[in-house]
Structure 1
Amino acid sequence: MKCVMSILNYNDSRRALELAERCVKFDSIERIIIVDNKSTDDSVTFLTERVGSNIELVVASENRGFAAGNDIGAKYAQEKYNPEYILFANTDTIFSETEVNACLSKLKAKADLGLISMRIKDIKGNEEKSAWHFKSFLDYTLFNIWIYRHITYKKGVYKSFSNDFQYVDIVRGSFMLFKMKALIEANFFDENTFLYYEEEIIAYRLRKHGYKVGLLTNYFYIHNHIASGTGNIWFIKKHLDASLRWFLINYYNIGNVKIRIFDFATKICSCETFLIEKLKRRGK
């Protein structure tokens, strides 16, 4: 089988099905797998009643996060279909078969390319961050601090692009098309993170196995952002800190001194977050 698509759903079954039904018509995608990541709404019932012969539903026994959910889809596809390519797309993305075909053509043409994506626009047509560089340990650590983060938010983001394609360090996780061989050699996603920094980690894993990450610069997909229940600032901070810490320890191989520096920075950020949230409540 040439290309399988995996859609990870969490409490967004209507858009998951809409995306699947749109993409199942593409000649370039032969099978679609919707992975329900232990939704707390009626997603499983809704999807079970509506999936068709070329759209399958796999239900996770527990929600272990974005990376683990994607791995469920990838390993299911590998075992059942052994595809040449696998596409991961969020339920809130919009793209056409033209874009998928362009990505597939570039993956096929470049032996060293393991993962490809495209530039991004929001639903209003504004361009969003689509690719960025790896940072130094210092930059990742200082990024914890609110003032530094807001001053340097766009630091390392690719802003100028070649005519049609270029290699980049990291691409956004909302649309990722892999050579299946590359994903398998990289040992899939790292399931030790729940949310955030999955993009850095998979790019790092691919690089360690001789594969590059690329961006189609003359094609765009739309990211129509989900309004989810995970917007609580403390929920976000908890997983941002934990994922970044895991990434730095296990991929940048930082030692005890740097771990202590990083942990101190996260404590500063916690104090900042507390004060900012307090000021916000007073201003209401």
Structure 2
Amino acid sequence: MREKTAAIVVNYNDSETTVAQLRRIQDYAALDAVIVVDNASTDYSLEALRAEEGGKVTVLAAEKNGGYGAGNNLGIRYAAARGYTYALIANPDAEFTEDCLRSLIRALEKNPGLAVIAPVQINPSKAPGAERPGSRANVLSGAAAFPLRGWFADLLEAGPVARRLFTPLLHYPARHYRTKLARVDCVPGSLLMVDIACFLRAGGYDERVFLYEEEYILGQRLRKIGAKTALLTSVHYVHRHAASIGKSYRRALDRQKLRENAMRFYFRHYLGCKRPALLFAELWFALIRLEIFLTGGGR
């Protein structure tokens, strides 16, 4: 008897994108359920999602918008209570095939101790060639996966200019992706499959963080219990970045402020940073905000 798999899709004020996702995936035979969590939307989202309910699709209404982690935790706990083994955490704007889904399931089934598996993420705006798993364009853009790093390296990654200058030092080298199943510390949060029991044993997502840094925090929590994360380099998906979050937080400066709050929390509670490092981070954040403003992201 095969393991049961549920997809978890979190929505906030973007039912159009979420409904499109539901209609793409609800007939995938490899999915036993599609659980949609509406994160206390302030528009008509819940009504629109309720209209799609039935068959495999279940809609949960969160009491408040606790952010990305809280919404996914709610959906995964619901799946766990109903006997599901695997959960596919899928952003509304992440497009994947059923073959990709089946490959992820097989990888978890064949690799005991593996808690998280993800396909290679493709950003459709990248240059030609970025779609090839392990290609230079893909790896150096940070689209594949990333290691757990120290606070200074994380600050470099957060800076638009620094990220481009120091990319080879901040990410795995291309040779890391030569195997079909590449062990990594973290995978992008837009599409990943988790072993529900391992995910919950690690504590799931930290609900004290509203948005951003979830990948690093989950990586730290999984490392603490000795669970493994991997990238399946033979399959990929398309992530249309900011298709959802860009509707709720239209200004780049607003998104940057959310990212800074998450980084402050991560630095304090997971990396144990002290006052000097935190003060340096504040100076760095100010430079990033200035760069965003000068390039038009503040409007």
Same fold (TM over 0.5): yes
- 2:257 corresponds in structure 1 to 238
- 1:42 corresponds in structure 2 to 44
Kindly indicate whether residue 92 of structure 2 is the aligned counterpart of residue 91 of structure 1. Answer: yes
The answer to which of 132-141 and 212-221 deviates more is 132-141
How far residue 271 of structure 1 moved from its aligned partner, in angstroms, is 5.0
Structure 1 unpaired stretches of 5+? none
Task: Give me the whole-angstrom Cα distance separating, in 1, the residues matched to 2:166 and 2:74.
Answer: 35
Task: Give me the whole-angstrom Cα distance separating, in 1, the residues matched to 2:265 and 2:100.
Answer: 34
- 2:240 corresponds in structure 1 to 224
Task: Give me the whole-angstrom Cα distance separating, in 2, the residues matched to 1:140 and 1:259.
Answer: 17
Kindly indicate whether residue 114 of structure 2 is the aligned counterpart of residue 136 of structure 1. Answer: no
TM-score by length of 2: 0.85
Amino acid aligned to 1:252: L
How far residue 9 of structure 1 moved from its aligned partner, in angstroms, is 0.8
Describe the superposition over 1:182-208 as per-residue Cα deviations: whole angstroms up to 9, x where unpaired.
111111110111111100111111111
Q: CA RMSD in A?
A: 2.2
Q: Check whether the contact 2:150–2:271 (CA below 8 A) recurs between aligned residues.
A: no
Q: Check whether the contact 1:145–1:265 (CA below 8 A) recurs between aligned residues.
A: no
Amino acid aligned to 1:38: A
- Provide closer, same or farther for how the CA distance between residues 232 and 260 of structure 1 changes in structure 2, counting only shifts above 3 A: farther
Query: How do 1:145-156 residues align onto structure 2 when only pairs under 5 Å count?
Result: 147-153=161-167, 155-156=169-170
Query: How do 1:246-257 residues align onto structure 2 when only pairs under 5 Å count?
Result: 246-254=265-273
Residue number among 267, 271, 277 corresponding to 1:261 in the alignment: 277
Identity of aligned residues (%): 27
- 2:103 corresponds in structure 1 to 102
Q: Check whether the contact 1:130–1:172 (CA below 8 A) recurs between aligned residues.
A: yes
Describe the superposition over 1:145-200 as per-residue Cα deviations: whole angstroms up to 9, x where unpaired.
56534422454223341242111111000001000111111111101111111001
Kindly indicate whether residue 43 of structure 2 is the aligned counterpart of residue 24 of structure 1. Answer: no
Q: Check whether the contact 1:134–1:156 (CA below 8 A) recurs between aligned residues.
A: no
| SS at 2:53 equivalent | coil
Amino acid aligned to 1:69: G
| SS at 1:171 equivalent | coil
How far residue 35 of structure 1 moved from its aligned partner, in angstroms, is 0.5
Task: Give me the whole-angstrom Cα distance separating, in 2, the residues matched to 1:57 and 1:275.
Answer: 40
- Provide closer, same or farther for how the CA distance between residues 154 and 110 of structure 1 changes in structure 2, counting only shifts above 3 A: same
Task: Give me the whole-angstrom Cα distance separating, in 1, the residues matched to 2:124 and 2:288.
Answer: 32
Residue number among 178, 189, 197 corresponding to 2:194 in the alignment: 178
Amino acid aligned to 2:51: E
- 2:118 corresponds in structure 1 to 117
Q: Check whether the contact 1:144–1:266 (CA below 8 A) recurs between aligned residues.
A: no
- Provide closer, same or farther for how the CA distance between residues 184 and 269 of structure 1 changes in structure 2, counting only shifts above 3 A: closer
- Provide closer, same or farther for how the CA distance between residues 35 and 280 of structure 1 changes in structure 2, counting only shifts above 3 A: same
Structure 2 unpaired stretches of 5+? 132-137
Kindly indicate whether residue 73 of structure 2 is the aligned counterpart of residue 71 of structure 1. Answer: yes
Aligned residues: 277
Task: Give me the whole-angstrom Cα distance separating, in 1, the residues matched to 2:169 and 2:153.
Answer: 9
Amino acid aligned to 1:216: L
